[in-house]
Amino acid sequence: DGGITQSPKYLFRKEGQNVTLSCEQNLNHDAMYWYRQDPGQGLRLIYYSQIVNDFQKGDIAEGYSVSREKKESFPLTVTSAQKNPTAFYLCASKEGNSPGLTEAFFGQGTRLTVV
Amino acid sequence: AQSVTQLGSHVSVSEGALVLLRCNYSSSVPPYLFWYVQYPNQGLQLLLKYTSAATLVKGINGFEAEFKKSETSFHLTKPSAHMSDAAEYFCAVSDNRGGSQGNLIFGKGTKLSVKP
């Protein structure tokens, strides 16, 4: 079945450490996204990529980094510069043609906790 | 700038009662609008979308939404609530700005509780 796989589902990080969240899709979608979800704040866009080897900052990119070396993969690194990284992280993808018209497909999320 | 406002962070209904979740949007161009549902500790699932065809859009699980341009609204309704409808619901608008076309802008969400 086609879909988006995020791993791990739960992740614990010590303060000062970088950590990488995985996102893989087999939907052949061009566009991929990372969102952060905090209670009562909805989803906020961290980074997005509309094509391989290109990505753009979203609304809250500080303290995060991404890469897009393959169409299927869009890993997110939460760096030690992110002041408050504890949150639920969601990866999504969309078709590239007429992206405004198409819906985003979401992974199951990764819950990151800083200990 | 485009934005979405969801009125009411929590809505509680009795089983069998009407569900009404409110969403108002702000957009300088005709918008594309979406409703998603999220169950605890899971990703988002599309309920329905409006892309300038029929103004009354039917979705999954008996939900529907009506696009009203004059009221800049896209409220989500379901005639009869079921216990399994308890979840968080997000309204979203597609960003039409050049370079970020297709990015979704989300409301803050409405948590629906269903009482037996």
* A39 CB neighbour count, 10 Å cutoff: 12
Query: 59-78 in B: which are within 8 Å (CB) of A?
Result: none
Please report residues of A whose CB lies closer than 8 A to that of B106: 35, 42-44
Segment A49-59, tens digit of pLDDT: 989 999 999 99
**Segment A102-107 mean pLDDT:** 90
Residues of B in contact with A101 (CB under 8 A): 32, 51, 94
Residues of B in contact with A58 (CB under 8 A): 103
Residue B80 to chain A, least CA–CA distance (Å): 26
Give the model confidence (pLDDT) of A78-102 as tens digits.
998 888 999 999 999 998 766 667 7
For residue A97, the model assigns a pLDDT of 61
B1-43 per-position pLDDT tens digit: 788 999 999 999 999 999 999 999 998 777 889 999 999 889 9
- State how far the Cα of B20 lies from the Cα of B77, in Å rounded to an integer: 5
Select the residue of A88, A101, A103 nearest B46 (Cβ to Cβ). Answer: A103
Written as six digits, the tokens of A91 are 């990866």
Q: Are B42 and B88 in contact (CB under 8 A)?
A: no
Cβ A40–B109 below 8 Å, yes or no? Answer: yes
Give, for B45, the enclosing helix (H) or strand (E): strand B44-50
Euclidean distance between CA atoms A88 and A95, whole angstroms: 24
Give the pLDDT score at A103: 85
**A61: pLDDT strictly greater than 90:** yes
Residues B2, B8, B10, B12, CA torsion sign: negative
> For the purposes of burial, counting CB atoms within 10 Å of the CB of A52, is it exposed (0-12), middle (13-18) or buried (19 or more)?
middle
For residue A9, which phi and psi values (nearest 5 degrees)? -75, -35
Nearest to A103 among B9, B34, B90 (CB): B34
- pLDDT for B4-15, tens place per residue? 999 999 999 999
Q: Please tell me which of the candidates B41, B43, B103 has its beta carbon nearest to residue A45.
A: B103
Cis, bond preceding A8 (omega within 30 deg of 0): yes
Q: By the CB < 8 Å criterion, does A94 face chain B?
A: yes
Q: Does any CB of chain A come closer than 8 Å to the CB of residue B43? A: yes
In tens, the pLDDT along B66-99 reads 999 999 999 999 999 999 999 999 999 987 766 6
| Residue-level pLDDT at B14 | 97
